[in-house]
Amino acid sequence: MLQTAQSARVSVDGRTYLAFCSNDYLGLASDPRLARAAQEGCGRYGVGAGASHLILGHSEAHHALEEALARFVALPRVLLFSTGYMANIGMVTALAGRDDAVFADRLNHASLNDACLLSRAQFRRYPHCDLEALEKLLSATRARRRLIVTDAVFSMDGDIAPLPRLVELAERHDAWLLVDDAHGFGILGDRGRGVLSHFGIATPRVIYMATLGKAAGVFGAFVAGEPAAVETLVQRARSYVYTTATPPLLAYAALESLRLIEEEQWRRERLAQLIRVLQGGLAANRWRLLRSDTAIQPLMIGDNADALEVADRLGQRGLLVPAIRPPTVPQGTARLRISLSAAHGEDDVARLAEVLNDIARQ
């Protein structure tokens, strides 16, 4: 059990660890300025929203955050959801139904898969980033409406989806492209604007979703896109309509987080430097570090028991790294999911590499 705020050094069950487990990629989750913003928001708006957005739960803090996010990601309209899970469920089920088809990367996040199943559309999964296979599926479909659904940064691999080519396919086959940027928002692109900025993509075919509980260090999520598509969500996304709005104090804190994401470029530079330190430190290790330019740096172990044992030995030496096993990842690809954060120092990452090299030699 975690007894401290989320950070590079945490206390778990009475012991202090250097941790590589969180999605707090920019080190903002325990930033005192965010905590102060949350307190100030609490002072103004109290704790609970008290109602759903469409009744009287939509506060000026939610509104200001939606406007700021739309400007930041350069899309016309934004809708806040309570969590990324709920955003994905709402987005896919509002846009696809019985006569439609959704095409999904096999390594998409569980919430997208659940959303596709719940939509009752035809659900076709294509092998990871295999655009030829996707094109075949798109050519064969006779569905009325077609949605391509993908993670922008794959959460257990750290690689980035080939979005420019996915946009081409979406245009060629008159499909929507739904992009889940949970791990790219705040990290990729100009000032952390996310994966669309990273690739310079601007098209009305994209519906963009990102979360506020990872790099942004707060809680919540949003969907952004063309006004008509977002209006469809307001009308039909059941995980938006039939739920209490998130506490406005969190929207207020997220506004401050957005300011820090945009202004503190050094956090992304630090992350890039830490990735280099890790890659250099593990270059001669017998386990392979997957190629990733994001904060997610998986070390491929293979066997489930081995992965658990390595994680356990790291723990004994004061380092926390989660072992990820099937069914979260495919059979035979158990791995350590090392996640880096701007809260880490270079010496922290060097220490992790040194201990991992030590364990690999035993």
- Binding interface with ligand PLP (CB under 6 A): 83-85, 88, 109, 111, 151, 155, 180, 182-183, 211, 213, 221
Q: What would the DSSP string read from start to end of 124-159?
A: EEESTT-HHHHHHHHHH---SSEEEEEESB-TTT--
| φ, ψ for residue 106, nearest 5 deg | -65, -25
Residue nearest to ligand PLP (CB): 84
The nearer residue to ligand PLP, 10 or 80, going by C-beta atoms, is: 80
Terminal Cα distance for the chain, rounded:
30
Q: In whole angstroms, how close is the CB of 218 to ligand PLP at the nearest point?
A: 10
Which one-letter DSSP state was computed for residue 245? P
Residues 61, 67: Cα–Cα separation, whole Å:
10
Specify whether 183 is catalytic: yes
Q: What single letter denotes the amino acid at residue 196?
A: L
Catalytic residue among 62, 183, 198, 344: 183
Catalytic residue among 22, 59, 155, 239: 155
Please report where in the chains the tokens 């890790």 appear, as a residue. Answer: 278
The nearer residue to ligand PLP, 20 or 85, going by C-beta atoms, is: 85
Residues 261, 185: Cα–Cα separation, whole Å:
9
Residues 314, 308: Cα–Cα separation, whole Å:
10
Catalytic residue among 214, 257, 292, 339: 214
Nearest to 199 by CA among 154, 134, 231, 153: 153
The nearer residue to ligand PLP, 183 or 353, going by C-beta atoms, is: 183
Residues 208, 200: Cα–Cα separation, whole Å:
14
Q: In whole angstroms, how close is the CB of 174 to ligand PLP at the nearest point?
A: 26
Q: In whole angstroms, how close is the CB of 14 to ligand PLP at the nearest point?
A: 27
Q: In whole angstroms, how close is the CB of 248 to ligand PLP at the nearest point?
A: 18
The nearer residue to ligand PLP, 85 or 287, going by C-beta atoms, is: 85
Specify whether 155 is catalytic: yes
Specify whether 59 is catalytic: no
Q: In whole angstroms, how close is the CB of 25 to ligand PLP at the nearest point?
A: 11
Q: Return the SS3 of 217.
A: coil
The nearer residue to ligand PLP, 72 or 287, going by C-beta atoms, is: 72
* Residue 130 CA, distance from chain mean position: 21
Q: Give the residue numbers annotated as catalytic, written as ranges.
A: 155, 183, 214
